[in-house]
Chain A
Amino acid sequence: MATSTMPRGWRLAGRYTLLIVLTIVVLFPIWVMLVGALKPGNKVLQDPLLPTHVTFDTLREAWRDGNLGRALVNSTIVALIVTVAQVVTAVLSAYAFAFLRFPGRTFVFGVFLATLLVPFEATVVVNRSTVQDLGWLNSYQGLAVPFLATAFGTFLVRQVFLTLPKDLREAARMDGLGHLGFLREVAVPLARPTLGALALFGFLSTWNQYLWPTTISTDDDWNTVQSGLRALAQAQIDKPNLVIAGTVIVALPIFVILLVFQRQLVRGLTAGAVKG
């Protein structure tokens, strides 16, 4: 150790101690939430850090009061529709930009680029009345349709398509593959890791949407998990541990999904994902 006066063992121990302390700090809110959700309402002030008086009644009550079963179904359906649609629209439009020659390509690409500069928060005022005029308040269409395509997805997939060698397209043409055949047999399989990241990212950002569902779901039956949680929090403001039990129910599925798909998530976030 030419550069340090401290022995290596001590430094390692210091690093691990710090890591453990920080782990406790980061996980602290999650732990308090879990403990709170497992207590009956009249014991919420007792041992807030320890799982005593464990009961599932609070979770059950939150599930019922918040109509969370229905909200989970709604969120799943909407997120799946949006995910599939985003991948499909991204692949199609990216293919057109990467492999097809047509007049005005640069201009249309510029239009796509411009939509990235518009924050969703600035368009909700008008989108709400559009959806209302279409009669789509409280519906799956209303929750999903504004998000069926994103310029972000188009860019991400186009980047991958542009890295494919030109010879590949030529060889495929020799083999008699048209554009659609080439797209299906060659381009999409080669872009699969990126498409996986895009899919996970689309699913997560749809699942986590807050402003949109709270704006257009006015009926309890059309809440997503996020707007359902908001409704529960506002209706049961005097029962903090009922609300926190609802929070656990909403948080749990996403924690599990992310543990499984960690790698895709890292790829999606570091690719320049901006919507949270």
Chain B
Amino acid sequence: MTRDAASRRRWRDAPLALAMLAPSLIVLGAFVLYPLARAFWLGHQRCDPTGANCRSNGWDQYLDVFRSEEFQQAFGVTFRFAVLTVPVGLALGVGLAVLADKQLRGMGFFRTVFSSTVATSVAVASLMWFFLLNPSVGVLADWIGGVAKNPGLLQDEDTALWAVAISSIWANLGFTFIVVTAGLQSIPADLYESAYVDGASGWMRFTNVTLPMLGPTLLFAGVVLTSRAFQSYGEFDLLTGGGPNGSTTSLTYLVYGNNSIIKNNSGLQAAVAVLLFAVLLVLSLAQIRGVERRVHYGN
């Protein structure tokens, strides 16, 4: 083949490829890549508190934000929120999935029930728990009593983040249950049979067969739940408004919340948004490695 012909072949599909890729490229470029680059630029600009008169003055605003008390508190809140929600959510999801995994009568019903919270949006789940925990009419507030009645779990600085975490664990339970159930079903039955023949008890089969075989699934679910926890916004907006006293002001709430002290300062908002991206980038890279492992060692 002549070089001319080879080059023509190389380019022959190019116009069609461009036409097929253009819609995706335009959307992703305009609403994912451009805003990230633009936020990176905006984040170094110093604005006055109303968001006007922004001007470039070196890149040290990122350092200032990173060192500021507000950012560190919000990072701490976000981190604690992830620590409160992810391990408990995973453990509950695994427990429910293992219980409902046997081929017994009625398991279809239980599976539907345990998957059901996947249908609740963040607004729906949050308002359900807002109702349950409402100090004057909430059933749970009545049962718990004490601080739950006055001022209310969501209104007390020491309990607010816990209360938001419970709502979030409940809302994510359906997702975790579905993913772990799928993982359980991909474990070959003969592994259990040989463990059974070897005389392993139920608990030993769980720790020696189920958990190791679920490894990639748990890693996947854990990373998804962690990155969701870091991106959570609606829970804080609806349940606590970032309060009381900043005890539930997450990174996302610091950027977007109505009560945030940087609400009108686009430079600072962009800076925090970029730092949020940086935090999530680390998590996303962990997730990609997790997905790769899933492909290599999974079913």
* Chain A interfacial positions (CB closer than 8 Å to B): 2-4, 12, 15-16, 18-19, 22-23, 26-27, 29-30, 32-33, 36, 44-45, 48-49, 88-90, 92-93, 95-96, 100-103, 105, 108, 111-112, 114-127, 130, 145-149, 151, 154, 179, 207-208, 210-211, 214-215, 225-226, 229-230, 233, 240-241, 243-244, 246-247, 250-251, 254-255, 257-259, 262, 265-266, 269-270, 272, 274, 276
Contacts and interface: CB of A to CB of B under 8 A. Distances in A.
A166 B21 CA distance: 22
B228 A276 contact: yes
A3 B202 contact: yes
A133 B173 CA distance: 40
B121 interface: yes
29 contacts: A23-B113, A26-B116, A26-B173, A30-B128, A90-B24, A100-B17, A111-B28, A118-B32, A121-B273, A122-B274, A123-B39, A124-B273, A125-B255, A126-B35, A126-B39, A127-B35, A130-B30, A130-B35, A146-B31, A179-B13, A207-B121, A211-B256, A226-B234, A251-B121, A254-B120, A255-B116, A262-B112, A269-B178, A276-B175
A176 to B, nearest CB: 17
Contact of A270 (B18, B137, B179): B179
In the A-B complex, the 7 residue pairs with the closest CB atoms: A126-B35, A123-B35, A208-B121, A122-B277, A149-B27, A146-B31, A210-B234
Given A32-B131, A123-B35, A262-B115, 10 more contacts: A4-B201, A32-B132, A48-B137, A112-B28, A122-B39, A125-B269, A151-B28, A211-B252, A255-B119, A269-B179
B104 interface: yes
Contact of A265 (B113, B118, B269): B118
B58 interface: no
Contacts of A250: 121, 123-124
Given A22-B96, A115-B33, A266-B178, A3 B200 contact: yes
Contacts of A266: 178, 182
B62 interface: no
B54 interface: no
A-side interface mostly: helix
B31 A230 contact: no
A257 B238 CA distance: 25
A262 to B, nearest CB: 7
Contact of B23 (A3, A149, A233): A149
B43 to A, nearest CB: 9
Given A118-B277, A154-B24, A247-B128, A126 B270 contact: yes
A19 B100 CA distance: 8
Chain B CB count within 10 A is highest, among A45, A241, A258, for A258
Nearest to A243: B127
B124 A251 contact: yes
Contacts of B284: 116-117, 119
A101 B100 CA distance: 48
Given A145-B27, A240-B131, A215 B123 contact: no
Given A125-B266, A127-B35, A119 B280 contact: yes
B178 A124 contact: no
A88 B19 CA distance: 13
Contacts of A100: 13, 16-17, 20
A127 B119 contact: no
B159 interface: no
Contacts of A125: 35, 39, 42, 255, 266, 269-270, 273
A89 B27 contact: yes
A215 B252 CA distance: 13
A147 B24 CA distance: 10
B88 interface: no
Interface string B165-203: 000001011010011001000000000000010011110
B123 A258 contact: no
A77 B131 CA distance: 30
Nearest to A273: B224
Interface in B253-272: 255-256, 266, 269-270
Contacts of A116: 284
